[in-house]
C-alpha cells in the first residue's frame, strides 16, 4: 500500500507543502483536509475586493480544489475539519462538515498547516451582529453578504495594524465614515513610534478618524463603547492581529515553540517523527536576533510550506529564517519594515544607534517627487545593520527589500552605503534613502565616546 | 603657507572630492577649476528639461559656485580650463576662458575629475548645424537655444542607449517625429538581446521609429545619411556613449587604466603620489569579474569622489567596486540592469545559466498589475549570482537593487530565493520576479549533466 501524507490546511503553507511533496514523491498518496470551502487563496487581497478594486473573491483563488486534484493528484477534501490527532495510532479524527459525520483517517506523514486565527478579545457584545474578522475568504463572504444592499454610514475598525488600515481605507472608498481605534500611541505597532506618527498623519489625511491610545470596552448593536465614549457603528471590523492556530497540534503532544506556535526546526520538522508544520501556525527563527518568533505572513507561509514539502517528498531543504519584512500601500502611502525595530532590539539585548532621513521618491527637481521617511538601526560598535522602516509616497515601499537583503548578508552601515544601487531622476534620487539613513546612523555612532 | 589641493572639474566627482577633503582638513587651501560655467549639476536631468517636465536647467544645479564657496570655503573658479599638468613642478597651466589669458597654479595635492566626453564619430558633416550632444548643461543650453522658437518636426537620435532613448522620448513629448538609429540588433547594448527586444517593443509602442542594425554614414543640413537611405532631420541628437576625458592626465604621465581611463587604486590614488582621480575619467573594479572597467554613471562619480575626498583630507576610505547598476524610466517602461550580462560573462570566461520570468508588477488579480520581464544569470556549478536585467512597467526598475545587493554579498540563487522580501498585493506579487527568475535558472542548472 502506498505511504500516505495527510496535509491539514489547504491554503499557502498546506498547498505549497503538498505540491512540493508531490514533485519529490510521485508514489505518495496525498490527502489535503481543509475545513473551509476554499484552497490556495490570497487572503491579503480581501481588502481590495471590499474596496471594489477587485471584482470578486473568486479572483483571489490561485488554484481551486479541482485544479489541485487534476494538476498534482492531490486528494483535496474541503469542508473537512480535523478535530483530533492521535500520534501513537497515527490517525486523525475528521469532521466532514457537510455530511455532519466524523471519520478517521490514518497517516504515515503529517503536514500541519492550520494557519492563524484572528484575535477576538473577550469583551461584552463581541459576538453581536455586524462584527467581522477578515482572515479567510469565508469571513470576507460573510462581511460582503452583511453589507450587501445596506447603506453603511459608520464603520469602526478596531486595531490600526496592516489589515485594520487596509479595511479602513476600503470602507472610505465605499463612502463610509471610518473611525479607527487602537490602544497604542501610534498605529502600526511593528513600526517605531516616530515612524508610526508618519502613518497616523497619512491615515488622518485620508479622512479616517484615528483614535490612538483609546481602548474598546465593549459592543452593542450600532455602537462601540470605548474608554473615551461611544462610537456609532453600522459595522465593526476587527483587525487586532492573529494568533497561531496550534491547539490541535499541541493537544496531540507536539512541542510548542515561540508564542504558542508549533515549534519546528530548520527543516520544518516538529518534535514528533514524520510530523511537519509550516506557515502561520509554526514558529520561525529571526535572522537578526537568532531567536524563534511567530509571524503570520503569506510570504513566509509559502516559503516554509515549500521547505516542508520538499523534505516530506524525500528531498533536503532548510529554511534560513525571517526578518519580518512587510509592506503595505494604504491611504496614499507605502509603509514597510524589516529586521528589528527599537523595542525588539531592546528585548533581544542588542544596543543600537538610529539614523533617519527625510528624502524623496524621485530626484527632487521633478514635479512628482514626493516625500519619504526612512530609518535604519545599526548595532553599537559593530555597525551591523539590524532593521529599518520606511513611510512614503508611491514607490517607497519596495525599497525595504534592499535593506532586507543587506541585513540577511550581515552587512554593516558602510557596506550599505557602498552598494551600487540604481539611479535615474524619475525613479530615485542619487543616494537611496536607506543609504542616507545609514550615513546618519554612522554619524551618530562615531560621535559616541569610545 | 597652507597646503593646496587643486581639483580639476566641478561636477559630481570633483565637488564630492572637494567637500569631503574640506571636512577632513579645515586647514587646506582648496581650489576647484571648472572649464564650464556650472558646478554640481544633474546631467541626468537634462532630458526632463528638454521634455518639459522640469522647468529650467537651473533646477538641475545642486549647488552653485557661490554656495560652494560659502559653505565649504572652496575657491571655485568656473570658466577655467586646465590645459597642462606638470607633475615634476607640481604646477598646472590654466586657461582663464573669459579673460582669454593663461595662468599657472601650483598644487600640493591634485584631484582629477575631468569626467567623460560624448563620442563624436568621425563622419562627414558631423560638425554641421543642429547636431547636438547632451553631456553638460552647456550642451543642453545650446540645444534649447537651437530649438527655441523653431518648429521641430523631424528629430533623428543616433544611438539607442539610455541618453538616446531618454532624448527620443523628450522630443516625442515636444510633438516631434522621432527616428532612432543604432547599429546593434537591439537597443540598449548593456542588456542582452532578449531583454533589448522588450525595450524595442516599448520604444516602438511609444511612437518612435526605431531602426536597429542600421548605421549612420554622414550628415548634411536637414538630413542624416544611413546605410538604408536618408532620414529627414531638423535636429540630430548624438547619444552614442561617452569616453573618459583622461588625455590631460595621461599626457602628464599618469598611468592609464582600463579602456583609456585613468588608472586608480581602491583609494582612488593614481600612479603618481598625491594625485587622485574619480568619476567618469577614472576606471573602477567590477565586483563580479574582478576586472577593472570603465563606467560613466553619476552614482559612481559621487561615491568615488567621496572616497577620494576623504583620503585627500587625511582620512581612510576605500571604494569596493561597481556592478554597473543602472536604471531608466522611458517610453512608459522601466529598464534596469546590474552585474554581468551574457557577453560580459563570456568575455570574463565565466560560464553561466540563465533564468527568465514574465511576471507582474503587482498581484495579478489587481486591475493595474502590469507585465514585467526579469532575467538572472548564475554561475555554472556554484550557482553564484552574476547579474540580471528587468524590463517592465511602473515600479519594475528599482527591484534591480535587491539583486545588486545579493550579488555584492556573494549570494547564490538559493539564497536569493530564501530572502524575506516584502509582499502586499498592490506593491508586488508574493514572489519577487528575480526570485522566480533564480528558480528558473536553478531548474536549468540542475538539468545539466554533472
> Which tens digit of pLDDT belongs to each residue from B22-58?
999 999 999 999 999 999 888 889 999 888 889 899 9
Is A110 found in the same domain as A257? yes
Chain A window 204-263: which residues touch B at a Cβ cutoff of 8 Å? Answer: none
Claim to verify: residue B98 and residue B182 sit in the same structural domain: no
Q: Output helix, strand, coil percentages for chain B, rounded to the nearest 5.
A: 30, 30, 40
Tell me, yes or no, whether A202 and A250 share the same domain.
no
B323, part of any domain: no
Q: Tell me the residues of chain A between 147 and 206 that have a Cβ less than 8 Å away from chain B.
A: 162
Q: What is the pLDDT of residue B367?
A: 85
Of B44, B319, B430, the CB nearest to A424: B44
d(CA B403, CA A385): 18
Give the DSSP letter string of B281-345. Answer: GB-EEBTTT--EE----HHHHHHHHHHHHHHHTT-------B---EEEEETTEEEEEEE--HHHH
| CA torsion, ordered B417, B423, B429, B432, to nearest 10 deg | -30
B254 lies in some domain:
yes
| Contact call for B399 and A400, based on CB within 8 A | no
Residue A328 is assigned to a structural domain of this protein: no
Closest residue to B323, CB basis, from A365, A410, A420: A420
**Residue A271 C-beta-side C-alpha neighbours within 13 Å:** 12
Q: Which residues of A touch B418 (CB under 8 A)?
A: 303, 319-320
Are the beta carbons of A54 and B366 separated by less than 8 Å?
yes
Sequence-distant (6+) residues with CB within 8 A of A251 are A84, A85
Residues of A in contact with B428 (CB under 8 A): 327, 398
Q: What is the pLDDT of residue A450?
A: 61
Partner B, chain A 300-359, Cβ-Cβ below 8 Å: 300, 302-303, 319-329, 334, 336, 338
Tell me the pLDDT tens digit for each residue of B155-210: 999 999 999 999 999 999 999 999 999 999 999 999 999 999 999 999 999 999 99
450 residues of chain A, pLDDT tens digit each: 789 999 999 999 999 999 999 999 999 999 999 999 999 888 889 999 988 889 899 999 888 999 999 999 999 999 999 999 999 999 999 999 999 999 999 999 999 999 999 888 899 999 998 999 888 899 999 999 998 888 999 999 999 999 999 999 999 999 999 999 999 999 999 999 999 999 999 999 999 999 999 999 999 999 999 999 999 999 999 998 899 999 999 999 999 999 999 999 999 999 999 999 999 999 999 999 999 999 999 999 999 999 999 999 999 999 999 999 999 999 989 999 999 999 999 999 999 999 999 999 888 888 888 999 999 999 999 999 999 999 998 888 999 999 999 999 999 999 999 999 999 999 999 899 999 999 999 999 998 876
CATH code for the domain of B132:
3.50.50.60
State how far residue A300 is from chain B, nearest Cα, in angstroms. Answer: 8
Whole-number Cα distances in Å, B315 to A232, A263, B106, B271: 64, 50, 23, 19
Q: Cite the beta strand spans of A322-405 per DSSP E.
A: 326-330, 333-339, 352-360, 371-379, 385-392
Task: Report yes or no: A53 at the B interface, CB cutoff 8 Å.
Answer: yes
How many angstroms separate the CA of residue A414 from the nearest CA in chain B?
10
Taking one residue from A and the other from B, the number of pairs with CB-CB distance under 8 angstroms is 198
Q: Which residue has the cell 510548542?
A: A256
B107 and B248 in a single domain? The answer is yes
A306: Cα separation from own chain's centroid:
17
| Residues with Cβ within 8 Å of residue A167, at least 6 apart in sequence | A47, A50, A134, A157, A237, A239
Whether the CB of B361 is below 8 Å from some CB of chain A: the reply is: no
Domain total in chain B: 3
Same domain, B200 and B63: no
For position A342, what pLDDT does the model report? 98
Q: Are residues B253 and B229 in the same domain?
A: no
Residues in chain B: 450
Q: Which domain holds residue B168?
A: 120-240
Residue A227 within any structural domain of the chain: yes
Please give the residue of chain B at the shortest CA–CA distance from A332: B426
Distance, CA of B243 to CA of B315 (rounded, Å) = 30
In a domain, A214, yes or no: yes
B371 within a domain of the structure (yes/no): yes
- Cβ within 8 Å, pair B319-A418: yes
In this complex, which of B298, B395, B421 lies closest to A430 when CB atoms are compared?
B298
Nearest CA in chain B to A428: B398
Q: Tell me: do B276 and B415 sit in the same domain.
A: no
Indicate whether A301 and A381 sit together in one domain: no
**3-state secondary structure at position A48:** helix
- Which of B52, B339, B405, B412 should we substitute to test contact with A (largest number of A Cβ atoms within 10 Å)? B405
The closest of A86, A91, A112, A94 to A35, measured between CA atoms, is A94
Say whether residue B397 is in contact with chain A using an 8 A CB cutoff. yes
Is beta strand B209-212 parallel, antiparallel or unpaired with respect to B177-182? parallel
Whether the CB of B401 is below 8 Å from some CB of chain A: the reply is yes
Of B327, B328, B402, the CB nearest to A401: B402
Q: Is the residue at A266 inside a domain?
A: yes
Set of chain B residues whose Cβ sits within 8 Å of the Cβ of A297: 423
- Give A-chain residues touching B329 at CB under 8 angstroms: 424, 426-427
Rounded to whole angstroms, the Cα distance separating B393 from B248 reads 43
Which among A54, A324, A395 has CB closest to B398?
A395
pLDDT digits (tens, 9 = 90+) for B335-369: 999 999 999 999 999 999 999 999 998 888 888 88
Q: In Å, how far is A91's CA from the nearest CA of chain B?
A: 33
Domain limit, last residue, from B240, B258, B293? B240
Answer yes or no: do B12 and B84 share one domain.
yes
The CATH number of residue B401's host domain is 3.30.390.30
Contact between chains at A427 and B302 (C-beta distance less than 8 A): no
Domain finish residue from B312, B345, B373: B312
Question: Cβ separation of B326 and A424 shorter than 8 Å?
Answer: yes
Q: Do A302 and B431 touch (CB under 8 A)?
A: yes
Which of A186, A205, A240 is the last residue before a domain boundary? A240
pLDDT tens digits, one per residue of B122-145: 999 999 989 998 888 889 999 999
What is the pLDDT at residue A50? Answer: 87
- Output the average pLDDT for chain B: 95
pTM: 0.95
Q: Is A287 on the interface with B (CB under 8 A)?
A: yes
Does A320 reside within a domain? no
Burial of A86 (0-12, 13-18, 19+ CB in 10 A): middle
pLDDT beyond 80 at B215: yes
Say if B360 is an interface residue toward chain A (CB within 8 Å): no
Q: What is the pLDDT, as a whole number, of residue A448?
A: 80
Inter-chain residue contact B303 with A418, CB threshold 8 Å: yes
Instruction: Examine the domain organization and report whether A254 and A220 are in the same domain.
Output: no
User: Is A423 within 8 Å of B399 when comparing Cβ atoms?
Assistant: no
pLDDT of residue B450: 61
Contacts of residue A320 in chain B, CB cutoff 8 Å? 415, 418
- Asked whether residue B267 carries a pLDDT value surpassing 90, the answer given is yes
Contacts of B398 in chain A (CB under 8 A): 395, 398-399, 422, 427-428
Residues B18 and B29 occupy one common structural domain: yes
Residues B347, B434, single domain; the answer is: yes
Residue B405 with chain A: CB contacts under 8 Å: 402, 405-406, 409, 419, 421
Counting every residue written for chain A, the total comes to 450
Measure A59 CA to nearest chain B CA, in Å.
6
Amino acid at each position: 500500500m502506498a505511504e500516505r501524507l495527510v496535509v491539514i490546511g489547504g491554503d499557502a503553507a498546506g498547498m505549497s507543502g503538498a505540491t512540493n511533496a508531490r514533485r519529490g514523491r510521485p508514489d505518495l498518496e496525498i490527502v489535503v483536509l481543509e475545513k473551509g470551502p476554499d484552497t490556495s487563496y490570497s487572503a491579503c487581497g480581501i481588502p481590495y475586493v471590499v474596496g471594489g478594486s477587485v471584482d470578486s473573491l473568486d479572483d483571489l483563488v490561485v488554484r481551486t480544489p479541482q485544479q489541485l486534484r487534476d494538476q498534482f493528484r492531490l486528494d483535496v477534501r474541503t469542508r473537512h475539519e480535523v478535530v483530533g490527532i492521535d500520534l501513537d495510532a497515527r490517525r486523525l479524527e475528521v469532521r466532514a462538515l457537510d455530511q455532519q459525520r466524523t471519520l478517521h483517517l490514518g497517516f504515515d506523514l503529517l503536514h500541519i498547516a492550520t494557519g492563524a486565527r484572528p484575535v477576538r478579545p473577550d469583551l461584552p457584545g463581541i459576538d453581536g451582529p455586524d462584527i467581522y474578522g477578515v482572515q479567510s475568504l469565508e469571513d470576507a463572504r460573510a462581511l460582503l453578504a452583511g453589507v450587501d444592499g445596506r447603506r453603511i454610514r459608520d464603520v469602526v475598525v478596531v486595531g490600526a495594524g496592516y489589515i485594520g488600515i487596509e479595511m479602513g481605507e476600503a470602507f472610505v472608498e465605499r463612502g463610509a465614515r471610518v473611525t479607527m481605534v487602537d490602544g497604542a500611541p501610534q498605529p502600526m505597532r511593528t513600526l517605531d513610534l516616530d515612524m508610526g506618527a508618519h502613518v497616523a498623519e497619512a491615515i488622518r489625511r485620508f479622512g479616517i478618524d484615528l483614535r490612538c491610545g483609546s481602548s474598546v470596552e465593549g459592543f452593542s448593536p450600532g455602537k462601540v463603547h470605548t474608554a473615551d465614549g461611544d462610537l456609532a457603528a453600522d459595522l465593526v471590523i476587527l483587525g487586532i492581529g492573529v494568533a497561531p492556530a496550534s491547539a490541535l497540534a499541541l493537544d496531540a503532544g507536539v512541542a510548542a515553540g515561540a508564542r504558542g506556535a508549533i515549534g519546528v526546526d530548520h527543516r520544518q520538522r516538529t518534535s514528533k517523527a514524520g510530523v511537519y508544520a509550516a506557515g502561520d501556525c509554526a514558529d520561525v527563527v529571526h535572522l537578526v536576533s537568532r531567536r524563534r518568533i511567530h509571524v503570520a505572513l503569506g510570504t513566509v507561509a509559502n516559503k516554509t510550506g515549500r521547505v516542508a514539502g520538499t523534505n516530506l517528498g524525500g528531498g533536503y531543504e532548510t529554511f534560513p529564517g525571517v526578518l519580518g519584512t512587510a509592506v503595505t500601500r494604504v491611504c496614499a502611502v507605502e509603509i514597510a519594515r524589516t529586521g528589528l525595530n527599537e523595542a525588539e532590539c531592546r528585548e533581544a539585548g542588542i544596543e543600537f544607534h538610529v539614523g533617519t532621513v527625510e528624502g524623496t521618491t524621485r530626484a527632487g527637481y521633478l514635479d512628482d517627487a514626493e516625500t519619504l521617511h526612512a530609518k535604519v538601526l545599526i548595532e553599537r560598535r559593530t555597525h551591523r545593520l539590524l532593521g529599518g522602516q520606511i513611510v512614503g509616497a508611491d514607490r517607497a515601499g519596495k525599497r525595504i527589500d534592499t535593506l532586507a537583503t543587506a541585513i540577511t548578508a550581515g552587512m554593516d552601515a558602510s557596506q550599505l552605503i557602498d552598494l551600487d544601487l540604481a539611479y535615474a531622476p524619475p525613479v530615485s534620487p542619487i543616494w537611496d534613502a536607506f543609504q542616507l539613513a545609514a550615513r546618519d546612523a554612522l554619524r551618530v555612532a562615531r560621535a559616541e565616546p569610545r
